[in-house]
A and B are shown apart, each in its own frame.
Chain A
Amino acid sequence: ETGVTQSPTHLIKTRGQQVTLRCSSQSGHNTVSWYQQALGQGPQFIFQYYREEENGRGNFPPRFSGLQFPNYSSELNVNALELDDSALYLCASSLAGTAYGYTFGSGTRLTVV
């Protein structure tokens, strides 16, 4: 059983650029959620994808967008990067309709300069 994998592990971007982060869900999981964790804070929910559609969104602007693919993997796209977007981005997968919890990837650490 494979866990959740995220790529890249680290990334440095310039303000105004665009970035795409990738996540492969755990085998057997069909739901993917994305979280942003600023330094010293708890993770904040960005959005969740189920059956290739957005299934809930947190308090993030539209320049944060995502995709889920038929194999349940997912992408997080952030346009017009701002300095405050610097954070650890975490992907979590789960199986909808079950009483099991979430499994997290190791995260992508994004630095915007």
Chain B
Amino acid sequence: GIQVEQSPPDLILQEGANSTLRCNFSDSVNNLQWFHQNPWGQLINLFYIPSGTKQNGRLSATTVATERYSLLYISSSQTTDSGVYFCAVTAGNNRKLIWGLGTSLAVNP
């Protein structure tokens, strides 16, 4: 089945720094979402982005479907950005989300 790999696994930033998180997937996908999971477990949908580029405030994402990767950009990071960032995809007729292992981000004041 399709494999989803995220990098880096862990990231520590100083408040105000920028970062790029990467998601590679091994086959064509028809859905790709980026989620932020806060320390209380809530998964927040950041982007639905099977292809192209989207921006939402300090966050933006780009998916290059032909090259099977997606990038999540965080600019001017804040302590509230801390948590785990997951990339999840669906492929073919299967609607189950297949997840990467996540990037654990800590933003220090």
- From the candidates B41, B48, B95, B100, name the one contacting A106 in the complex (CB within 8 A): B41
Task: Tell me how far the C-beta of A57 lies from the nearest C-beta in chain B, rounded to whole angstroms.
Answer: 9
Interchain CB contact under 8 A, A56 and B40: no
Interchain CB contact under 8 A, A107 and B42: yes
A104 and B48 contact, Cβ closer than 8 Å, known pairs A31-B95, A43-B99: no
A88 within 8 A of B: yes
Given contacts A104-B42, A106-B40, A107-B41, 9 further A-B contacts (CB under 8 A): A41-B101, A42-B86, A42-B100, A44-B99, A45-B97, A48-B95, A92-B97, A99-B31, A107-B42
Chain B: number of interface residues, binned into ranges: 20 to 34
> For chain B, what secondary structure do more than half of its interface residues adopt (helix, strand, loop), or is it mixed?
strand
Listed from nearest, the 10 A-B pairs whose CB atoms lie closest are A42-B99, A101-B48, A45-B96, A104-B43, A101-B33, A107-B41, A106-B42, A88-B41, A42-B101, A43-B99
